[in-house]
Structure 1
Amino acid sequence: MAVFTPLDAAEVDSWLDRFDLGTRTDLQGIASGIENTNYFLSTTQGRFVLTLFERLQAEQLPFYLGLMHHLAAHGIPVPDPMPDRQGQTLHTLKGKPAALVTRLQGRSQLQPEPVHCAQVGHWLARMHLAARDYAGTQPNLRGLAWQTRTIPDILPYLTADQRTLISTELAHQTEVAASPAYAALPRSAVHADLFRDNVLFEGDTLSGVFDFYFAGVDTWLFDLAVALNDWCIHLQTGEFDAVRFDALLNAYLAVRSMSDAEHRLLPDALRAAALRFWTSRLADYHLPRDAHLLTPHDPIHFERVLRQRIASA
């Protein structure tokens, strides 16, 4: 959600004319995030988030927009894409694909307590069940295939020890993904990026989850592992906080029970989630793009997390 493509008010006003959403009252660039250009856009009829997609192609975007609308229709608190007067939710602005979605209320909880983790687990299980009948079929674009293509480009920037770690883990995850147990795991469209800064709370009550632009069809177990690896750890060490871990997992299980295979493969899924984000952060750090507001995340964090998951496994 960095600003790669600057917009001025006149451009936005002209673009907004295609909607029945009133006139602009405020426009602010959003500095956080690393993939798309995002602005908070307020009008006389509501508050929205305007996104210009910097990497995703127009043909990929109906999956994300359709998923958000599908979940919103099922009562899951997520941003809902706004149609224009022609009923279209996918648009073009400044030569790039664009979308306008409702802006959720609340603030991110960056120092979560067990009560917050429990609500994340509850939301995630509800989201998985609601996504079962979503017809979209796009794969996780940052999944194992992407990692296999990307890691060779990163290796020259790493130490010998890091090269061994990332290559060995990639081989391990490739082996796990080829197993019959993995093939049998339940899956659907998943969020795939359920981090602390993508969830909003009003007080201690979860009010919404946003940033679905890493979503894709993947295992529910991977989606759960991504959340556990962020919400339930000590950031300084990557180690789990047992109370927060239990709060999130038990809340998830209260809505959807996991199979024996999911329980057995959870340690591997936690490693897979750590590898995915270590790889993407290394790519963002060593192979950066220009942006007006962009601070790449520290890749060392997920190296620590991966080492912890391997040691505990």
Structure 2
Amino acid sequence: MAVFTPLDEAEVDAWLSRFDLGTRTDLQGIASGIENTNYFLTTTRGQFVLTLFERLQPEQLPFYLGLMHHLAAHGVPVPDPMPDRARQTLHTLKGKPAALVTRLKGRSQLQPQAVHCAQVGHWLARMHLAARDYGGTLPNLRGLAWQRRIIPEILPYLTGDQRALISAELAHQTAVAESATYASLPRSAVHADLFRDNVLFEGETLSGIFDFYFAGVDTWLFDLAVALNDWCIHLETGAFDAPRRDALLQAYQAVRPLTEVEHSLLPDALRAAALRFWTSRLADYHLPRDAHLLTPHDPAHFERVLRQRLMPD
């Protein structure tokens, strides 16, 4: 597993006894993810995912767990946190914050077609509308404020051309964020990390959206841009695949049409989403936090995406 805190069956059984979820029948480590330790936990009453949080602070977790429960209650296919008998969804196991959520069915679709992108667009719009009345207030912790802090630390590791690119884009996004038009954008709690490996499908039907641990309050347009920059591009170049892009956008707008301001700022949002993930990957690569991060993602991918978003249509 990418982040590994070993658990034995006896300690899981003792921990599980505080829930009304039956007894354990199976426990399997999940060999994916770079932020948390995850296990598939099957009991006599269902299938769940047990997560031990390796980095996130306990004070952040109620926002994420509350958002997941809120969306599940509104019919969005997301993991639903399980309360114990004391009605708590944030727990402790082996000295670390922990949560137990429902396990979703399906598999990731890493080579999506237009039909899959349409499903993503539909459910992303549904998720945005459902989150309107969620009261959590945690900001996007990898948003522009974080980028302004971390980019100066990254600059010494970059080439001259890269330094010029990232600095210019940071200045551009700062100006956009300070504009009156940006302030008028609709926003709420958003996923902020809706990549291909965070969505499950059964056939061509979306069956689950998970990994909300980068969620925060941000614009719906930014969340849409994150999805477009992953689901609808040629991975080798970062260029858009027009049929997939159009399918996602049309399905999204069939549920929630974009405002005129959102249409005008979509190119900037696509650049902002590319900058966010280029910066994050550069930080993970050059400024690794600790040994929990096993293999950082290639920063060059989102550099390519950003350069593509800067090219004229």
- CA offset at residue 93 of structure 1? 1.3
Query: Residues 60-118 of structure 1, C-alpha deviation per residue, up to 9 Å, x if partnerless?
Result: 11111111111111111100000001110001112211111001000000000000000
> Where do 1:143-292 residues align within 5 Å?
143-288=143-288, 289-291=290-292
Q: Is the 8 A contact 1:2 1:38 kept in 2?
A: no
> Where do 1:44-193 residues align within 5 Å?
44-193=44-193
Query: Is 1:295 aligned to residue 295 of structure 2?
Result: yes
Query: Residues 185-207 of structure 1, C-alpha deviation per residue, up to 9 Å, x if partnerless?
Result: 00001010110000000011100
Describe the shift of the 1:165–1:4 C-alpha distance in structure 2 as closer, same or farther (beyond 3 A): farther
- CA offset at residue 5 of structure 1? 2.4
- CA offset at residue 30 of structure 1? 2.1
Task: Measure, in 1, the Cα distance between the counterparts of 2:162 and 2:259.
Answer: 34
Task: Measure, in 1, the Cα distance between the counterparts of 2:153 and 2:142.
Answer: 15
Q: Is the 8 A contact 2:3 2:33 kept in 1?
A: no
Describe the shift of the 1:294–1:45 C-alpha distance in structure 2 as closer, same or farther (beyond 3 A): farther
Task: Measure, in 2, the Cα distance between the counterparts of 1:5 and 1:160.
Answer: 41
- CA offset at residue 138 of structure 1? 0.9
Question: Which aligned runs of 4 or more in structure 1 are off by greater than 3 angstroms?
Answer: none
AA at the equivalent of 2:306 = L
The alignment-based identity, stated in percent, is 85
Task: Measure, in 2, the Cα distance between the counterparts of 1:231 and 1:18.
Answer: 40
Counterpart for residue 10 of structure 1:
10
Query: Residues 142-179 of structure 1, C-alpha deviation per residue, up to 9 Å, x if partnerless?
Result: 11011111112222221121111111111111110000
Task: Measure, in 1, the Cα distance between the counterparts of 2:46 and 2:294.
Answer: 27
- CA offset at residue 311 of structure 1? 1.6
- CA offset at residue 11 of structure 1? 2.4
Task: Measure, in 2, the Cα distance between the counterparts of 1:266 and 1:176.
Answer: 11
Q: Is the 8 A contact 1:154 1:286 kept in 2?
A: yes
- CA offset at residue 22 of structure 1? 1.8
Q: How many residues matched?
A: 312
> Aligned-pair RMSD on alpha carbons?
1.3
Task: Measure, in 1, the Cα distance between the counterparts of 2:106 and 2:50.
Answer: 18
- CA offset at residue 310 of structure 1? 1.1
AA at the equivalent of 2:184 = A
Answer with 120-129 or 152-161: which moved more.
Answer: 152-161
Q: Is the 8 A contact 2:30 2:39 kept in 1?
A: yes
Task: Measure, in 2, the Cα distance between the counterparts of 1:209 and 1:13.
Answer: 28
AA at the equivalent of 1:178 = E
- CA offset at residue 285 of structure 1? 1.6
Does the residue aligned with 1:207 lie in a helix, a strand or coil? strand
Task: Measure, in 1, the Cα distance between the counterparts of 2:103 and 2:312.
Answer: 39
TM-score (norm 1): 0.96
AA at the equivalent of 2:291 = D
Describe the shift of the 1:151–1:161 C-alpha distance in structure 2 as closer, same or farther (beyond 3 A): same
Q: Is the 8 A contact 2:285 2:296 kept in 1?
A: yes
- CA offset at residue 266 of structure 1? 0.3
AA at the equivalent of 1:122 = H
Task: Measure, in 1, the Cα distance between the counterparts of 2:193 and 2:102.
Answer: 19
Structure 1, gaps ≥5 residues long:
none
Task: Measure, in 2, the Cα distance between the counterparts of 1:9 and 1:97.
Answer: 18
AA at the equivalent of 2:61 = L
Does the residue aligned with 1:312 lie in a helix, a strand or coil? coil
Q: Is the 8 A contact 2:107 2:200 kept in 1?
A: yes
Q: Is the 8 A contact 1:23 1:44 kept in 2?
A: yes
Does the residue aligned with 2:51 lie in a helix, a strand or coil? strand
Task: Measure, in 2, the Cα distance between the counterparts of 1:207 and 1:162.
Answer: 39
Task: Measure, in 2, the Cα distance between the counterparts of 1:285 and 1:33.
Answer: 16
Does the residue aligned with 2:311 lie in a helix, a strand or coil? helix
